Amino acid sequence: MTKINYLKEISDSKKPFIIYKSLKGFNLYTDFSKKIILTNRNIKNFINKINNSKQKTKDTDIFLGFFGYQILNNLIGIKIKKQKGLKFPKGIFYKPETKVNLSNKLSYTPLISVKSNKIFKINLSKNTYKSIFNKFKKRIKSGETYQIKICTKYKNLSKIDPLDFFCRLTKTNMAPEAFMIKDKDYSIISCSPENLITKKNEFISTKPIAGTLKKSKNLNKIKALAFFKKNIKETKEHNMIVDMERSDLSKICKPGSVKIIKKKVVEEYKDLYHYVSLIAGKLKKNISNLDIVKAMMPGGSVIGCPKISTLNLLNAQEKESRNIYTGSFGYFKFNGDMRFNIIIRSILNYRNQSEISVASGVVIDSNANHEFNENYIKAKALMDLYK
């Protein structure tokens, strides 16, 4: 590929590829020599066999891909009853042989304009959402959970150009964990803001997001921070998630090493302000990749807490598969480093069926109308791509 027309060339070539946000811009990976489709039977073997070499490694000594929500539940011993929805793989990882460094400004103009369906169907009406909300409120009052995230899904039938969608999304809603995958029969486009795992050598960190505020002309980051600090519901939600993520890290880190590095700061996005903290620790000796994945996934900030009992409540209630939603995308490097996000703010297009899943947190002080509307706000930036 020439450096000037890389995006056009990769699109025209019909080759599978991955684009992932980096500190300086984006990295594009392609020419995959291996494609591992994960199952409940092979996932442990796949994670354990990734070479943790202390020797100098190449940029392409890496596996990139995603874990779906269902396979992560199974990995930690939580079963999910049979659900309807797309029969999409539980996880896929790729070994690239080519890496191209891209700038922050992705330029791509599709030759043919793909007319996408603008109409989305929601899987939960407001009344159905309220019914589930009230049911979970009772569970909170009885002490079975303290916070729980109700997932709603927006779906349509659409043929899309995922590269066009992703480039437009990065212009309007740049996010630190943005990524896209384009393969033969599916694509994923994501503006995820949330990092779940960053591991470098023996150090590991996580950046939970808990707290969302819709932007308006009268708001700025300072006013948003003041709102979050004064809002009892948002503060409770954030504190619970930070405590849970700190607990998850403590399972795999040396005693006393887990610290809150940044506490309750505001990050700004296209339509939203988020309430964010950063937690880090030093890993115990002989902690494996599998130990880390099992301790940290699925990410607690998009599930609720306590994690295990809340997962059981969600899985008993939800009738549709989450597929990629609240799973994790990222990489394992052959030197042992890894980085994984939480898959939110994402579009899965599989065999020309698109789905956008979102969720908002329910605590004792939550309001059903507010949470239902918050889900729509989160999905809107993605649905706007279809216009």
Cβ(258)–Cβ(280) under 8 Å? Answer: yes
Domains and their CATH numbers in the chain:
6-386 (3.60.120.10)
pLDDT at position 172? 85
Residues 6+ apart with CB under 8 A from 52: 289, 334, 335, 336
pLDDT at position 301? 82
Cβ(31)–Cβ(15) under 8 Å? Answer: yes
* Per-residue confidence in pLDDT tens, the chain, 387 aa: 445 578 999 998 999 999 999 998 999 999 999 999 999 999 999 999 997 766 777 999 999 999 999 999 999 999 898 888 788 999 999 999 999 999 999 989 887 777 788 899 999 999 999 999 999 999 999 999 988 999 999 999 999 999 999 999 998 888 899 999 999 999 999 999 999 999 999 999 999 988 888 888 889 999 999 999 998 878 888 888 899 999 999 999 999 999 999 999 998 887 788 899 999 999 999 999 999 999 999 998 888 889 999 999 999 999 999 999 999 999 999 999 999 999 999 999 999 999 999 998 788 888 999 999 989 988 988 999 998
How would you class 2 by CB atoms within 10 Å of its CB: exposed for 0-12, middle for 13-18, buried for 19 or more? exposed
367/180 Cα distance (integer angstroms): 34
DSSP track, 8-59 = HHHHHHT--EEEEE-SSSEEEEEEEEEEEE--TTTHHHHHHHS----S---T
pTM over 0.85: yes
pLDDT at position 4? 56
